[in-house]
Amino acid sequence: MAEPTPAAGAAPRVALVHDWLTGLRGGEKVLEAIAAQFPGAPIYTLVHVAGSLGGAFDGHPIHTSFVQRIPGARRHYRRLLPLFPAAVEDFDLGAYDLVVSSSHCVAKGVVPAPGAVHVCYCHTPMRYAWDQEHTYFPRRRGVTARLRNLILTALRAWDVATVPRVDLFLANSSFVAARIRRYYGRRAEVVPPPVDVGFFTAEDAGPGDTPADEGYALVVSALAPYKRVDLAIAACERLGVPLRVVGTGPEERRLRRLAGPSTRFLGRVEGPRLRDLYRRAGFFLQPGVEDFGIASVEALATATPVVARGRGGIRDIVEDGVHGVLYEVAEGAGDAAEIDACCAAIDKSARIGWNSSALIDRARAFSVERFNDRLCDCLARASRRPPSR
């Protein structure tokens, strides 16, 4: 095994770790920005679906775990969750002085070499293992549910036991930093994720879907249960506001059944078409609790105000009444109360004359350049401190 301590003045040998590389979503965009700081650094990941990243990590060797070799893993890797801790611990990182993990599942549990520094950019502690278990797994009875509960109990114990392997936690929002404190007992520095505000701009709006297709509510989200797109559909249907939904996911079939004629599902949309959808929207709607909310910043960058539930990472982004409308709902109040509050917030937003410059200026606080500056500062300070292990 290589000696982990570099010669005086030598650049550190760096390894990057990410849970899985199966598409270019928010977490992968953060990893892309991190990887840009370390040209050629290898990336270790549980599963990699070739061609799913659009060349984002060209020039970075990608090493996969034994999970990759299991038949069907590329499509059904989530079903192999019980194997993930063993798979991530199986990576041999003995040759590296600095390990940077990008983790929303098990990546933080890698085993660095003795004397190496491990910085974890934590998108969130595992939602389905901690405070959102019941949202992901509403069926609580039966043999399958009991077995799943045993697996999640073991996973939580492993998740806590591996915390000392991390020297410095970075969180994408104050909300996630609080969750890291609650579940891991560690302080995290907040480094908001990078947003391409140079691309998402307010000028030169394109033709959109039709000349009259403006002023709609826009949701840009994975169609997963905790995103609560069903609430957005219900609120917009009640108010008669056209709704455009960008995204795909396991909830799509159910959501289509709930939707009326004024709701349109656009599937996966990227690039200039997504930018035009933001520009033409009357407001961006976020009914779920997000760890951060990159799409809300993209909306602000195009001078589109945000209507969102006022809990989670959105509080780091939107000042109520300045960049959008945040509405409050008591925990456990139920769907009817959430829909009522969302409707009231949409009505309030329609009566406000938004200052486009204020929206755009707010988005610029989350630029790629700001992310790079914050990240480099944190990594420099982490490298000067003795490892916590």
Same domain, 45 and 176: yes
CB-based contacts of 76, cutoff 8 Å, min separation 6: none
CB atoms within 10 A of CB 124: 24
Residue 85 lies inside a defined structural domain of this protein = yes
Strands 188-190 and 117-122 turn out to be: unpaired
Same domain, 342 and 255: yes
Q: How many domains does the chain have?
A: 2
- Cβ 295 vs Cβ 286: under 8 Å: yes
The model's pLDDT over 342-377, given as tens digits with 9 standing for 90+, comes to: 999 999 999 999 999 999 999 999 999 999 999 999
The reported pLDDT for the residue numbered 204 is 55
The average pLDDT across 300-320 equals: 97
In this structure, what DSSP letter does residue 144 have? H
Domain range enclosing 222 = 217-364
- The enclosing domain of 283 has a CATH number of 3.40.50.2000
> Which residue would you say has higher pLDDT here, 50 or 48?
48
The model's pLDDT over 157-176, given as tens digits with 9 standing for 90+, comes to: 999 999 999 999 999 999 99
Residue 40 lies inside a defined structural domain of this protein = yes
Same domain, 165 and 286: no
Residue 7 lies inside a defined structural domain of this protein = no
Strands 117-122 and 43-45 turn out to be: unpaired
pLDDT at residue 219 greater than cutoff 80: yes
The model's pLDDT over 257-297, given as tens digits with 9 standing for 90+, comes to: 999 999 999 999 989 999 999 999 999 999 999 999 999 99
> Which residue would you say has higher pLDDT here, 134 or 158?
158
Same domain, 159 and 235: no
Same domain, 182 and 322: no
The reported pLDDT for the residue numbered 265 is 97
Same domain, 252 and 185: no
- The percentage of the chain sitting over the pLDDT mark of 90, rounded to a whole number, equals 73
CA 291/CA 330 separation, integer angstroms: 18
Residue 184 lies inside a defined structural domain of this protein = yes
Give the model's confidence band at 53: pLDDT under 50 very low, under 70 low, under 90 confident, else very high.
confident
pLDDT at residue 146 greater than cutoff 80: no
CA max distance for the chain: 66
Same domain, 190 and 241: no
- The percentage of the chain sitting over the pLDDT mark of 70, rounded to a whole number, equals 91
Same domain, 360 and 372: no
CA 317/CA 362 separation, integer angstroms: 8
Same domain, 356 and 379: no
Look up residue 366 and give its two tokens: 């989350």
Same domain, 172 and 256: no
The model's pLDDT over 78-99, given as tens digits with 9 standing for 90+, comes to: 888 899 999 999 999 999 999 9
The average pLDDT across 52-69 equals: 91
The reported pLDDT for the residue numbered 140 is 65
The residue whose two tokens read 């798979």 is 87
Q: How long is the chain?
A: 389
Residue 4 lies inside a defined structural domain of this protein = no
CA 71/CA 178 separation, integer angstroms: 38
Residue 341 lies inside a defined structural domain of this protein = yes
pLDDT at residue 216 greater than cutoff 90: yes
pLDDT at residue 193 greater than cutoff 60: yes
Residue 200 lies inside a defined structural domain of this protein = no
Give the model's confidence band at 205: pLDDT under 50 very low, under 70 low, under 90 confident, else very high.
very low
Same domain, 30 and 173: yes
Same domain, 41 and 168: yes
Residue 169 lies inside a defined structural domain of this protein = yes
Rounded to two decimals, the pTM is 0.85
- The enclosing domain of 84 has a CATH number of 3.40.50
- Give the residues across from 171 on adjacent strands: 122, 190
The reported pLDDT for the residue numbered 1 is 36
